Chain A
Amino acid sequence: MTDKRIVDEYKKIKPEPELKNRIMCEVLALETAKIQKPFWLRMKPVMSGALACLALVLCLTVIPFNNAVEPSEQLGYGAFTVAYADGTEIMPSGPYAMVKMADDYYEYQQTENGEACAELSFNFEGKTRVNAEYGSLYKKTADGKYEPITSNAILEGDVTLLWELPGGEFDEACVMTLINRSGEWNLGLELFPEGYKANLVKAE
């Protein structure tokens, strides 16, 4: 157990009191910038709200309920699996194996951006929102190429993703979040020179 004295001395490390005010000013500037919009932009939420109400009234009164317009994005409830490039499944909160990087995309890693990356295969039952907090995600296409996907992309079915991590160095504890209506999961990735390993934990 750590000496309490060490902990007390550690807690003496504090920022200057002015830091709080400095950040508050920046946040204020941020909020002010948000509201300094042209009139028509400020009115946009009001108009959008009014149109939404009108649409709802139409849906309830004109269009039969069982034919109501569904949202364009409907996340699924289904489970999903994640596997390494060699097919080894990543078990939720379970032990994970070191996996060597596949040779086929190592060339990509060197010729494109030279960044450290990992290839993972997913099977989503139902639409799932995928977001990597750091780095870039690419989806492997049928012809073996990698096309970038946007943050918070909605994916479904069998998908192979290449996760490119920033810095060009092997890093760890980069997290990808996987969300559908059954909940949110964090996929943590650790990279080492000899390979990479991932861990899947429920966020909640």
Chain B
Amino acid sequence: MLNLSFLGSNKQEPTDFETLYNRYGEMLFRLCFSMLRSREDAEDAVQDVFLKYFTAPKSFNDSEHEKAWFIRVTSNHCKDVMRKRTVRSAVGLDEIGELEDFGVEKDSGEVLNSIFALPEKYRTVFVLHYLEQISVADIAKSLGLGQSAVKMRLSRGREILKEKLDLFS
């Protein structure tokens, strides 16, 4: 039987795909953009992650389990994309996505650019905790790290940012 639930019923009720996209789409895009620094690459990455889900649908115990899966798969997918970039060619400065294109204010944009310039392993946990406001425990579960490792990376990320900005305590 053809499962069209992801398209939505005639009553326009939330669908599997629609529910998932509404729940995670923007968060995953922001995470991808912070890692890939390109709107197009970030959109492609989000698409790939959702297709990965629908190619082999998973069953989750709860919404936290589901969220952890999406975050982990997105993070690892972006790393694969970045690795391929390193092998083929570096992203030119004129290809890096500009935050002004999203309507971000200049002052805040400078702060965000500094965060996005952090080394990858600090940047991911930093974005997830301080910007997406996900708890250390949930980040640890999502990324398969210990909580102490997450806290250490947050601490080191703050130290690096302190050298550039005087905002984080």
Query: B92 in the interface, Cβ–Cβ < 8 Å?
Result: no
Contact between A15 and B83, CB atoms less than 8 A apart: no
Bound-complex Cα distance A93 to B106 (A): 42
Choose from A9, A31, A35, A201 the contact partner of B104 (Cβ within 8 Å): A9
Closest residue of chain A to B75 (Cβ to Cβ) is A173
- Segment among A64-72, A156-164, A185-193 that sits at the interface with chain B: A185-193
Choose from B39, B51, B121 the contact partner of A30 (Cβ within 8 Å): B51
Contact between A9 and B105, CB atoms less than 8 A apart: yes
Query: A96 in the interface, Cβ–Cβ < 8 Å?
Result: yes
Bound-complex Cα distance A5 to B86 (A): 34
Query: A145 in the interface, Cβ–Cβ < 8 Å?
Result: no
Query: A19 in the interface, Cβ–Cβ < 8 Å?
Result: yes
Interface size in chain B (residues, C-beta < 8 A): 57
Contact between B79 and A93, CB atoms less than 8 A apart: no
CB proximity of B10 to chain A, nearest CB, Å? 17
Bound-complex Cα distance A169 to B82 (A): 12
Q: Mark A77-106, 1 if CB is under 8 A from B, else 0.
A: 000000000000000011110000000000
Q: Mark A169-198, 1 if CB is under 8 A from B, else 0.
A: 101111100000000001111100000000
Contact between A96 and B146, CB atoms less than 8 A apart: yes
- Segment among A20-28, A54-62, A121-129 that sits at the interface with chain B: A20-28
Contact between B143 and A173, CB atoms less than 8 A apart: yes
Q: How many A-B residue pairs have CB under 8 A?
A: 145
Contact between A199 and B144, CB atoms less than 8 A apart: yes
Bound-complex Cα distance A11 to B2 (A): 37
Interface of chain B: mostly helix, strand, loop or mixed: helix
A7-B131, A166-B83, A174-B76 known; A13+B144 contact, CB < 8 A: no
Bound-complex Cα distance A93 to B146 (A): 6
Q: What chain A residues lie within 8 Å of B108 (beta carbons)?
A: 5-6, 9-10
Bound-complex Cα distance A11 to B27 (A): 8
Q: Mark B124-148, 1 if CB is under 8 A from A, else 0.
A: 0000001101000000110111111
Query: A153 in the interface, Cβ–Cβ < 8 Å?
Result: no
Q: What chain A residues lie within 8 Å of B143 (beta carbons)?
A: 173, 175, 188
Contact between A186 and B111, CB atoms less than 8 A apart: no
Most chain B Cβ neighbours within 10 Å, of A15, A31, A96, A189: A15
Choose from A19, A27, A35 the contact partner of B2 (Cβ within 8 Å): A35
Contact between A31 and B6, CB atoms less than 8 A apart: yes
Contact between B47 and A1, CB atoms less than 8 A apart: no
Query: B29 in the interface, Cβ–Cβ < 8 Å?
Result: yes
Contact between B47 and A6, CB atoms less than 8 A apart: no
Query: Which B positions have Cβ atoms within 8 angstroms of A?
Result: 2-4, 6-7, 17-18, 21, 25-26, 29-30, 33, 39, 42-43, 46-47, 50-51, 54-55, 61, 65, 72-73, 75-76, 79-80, 83, 86, 99, 102-105, 108-109, 111-112, 121, 130-131, 133, 140-141, 143-149, 167-169
27 contacts between A and B (CB under 8 A): A2-B167, A10-B131, A11-B26, A14-B29, A22-B43, A22-B47, A23-B47, A23-B50, A27-B54, A30-B55, A31-B2, A31-B54, A35-B2, A133-B72, A133-B73, A134-B76, A169-B86, A172-B121, A172-B145, A173-B143, A186-B144, A187-B144, A190-B149, A199-B144, A201-B144, A203-B141, A204-B65
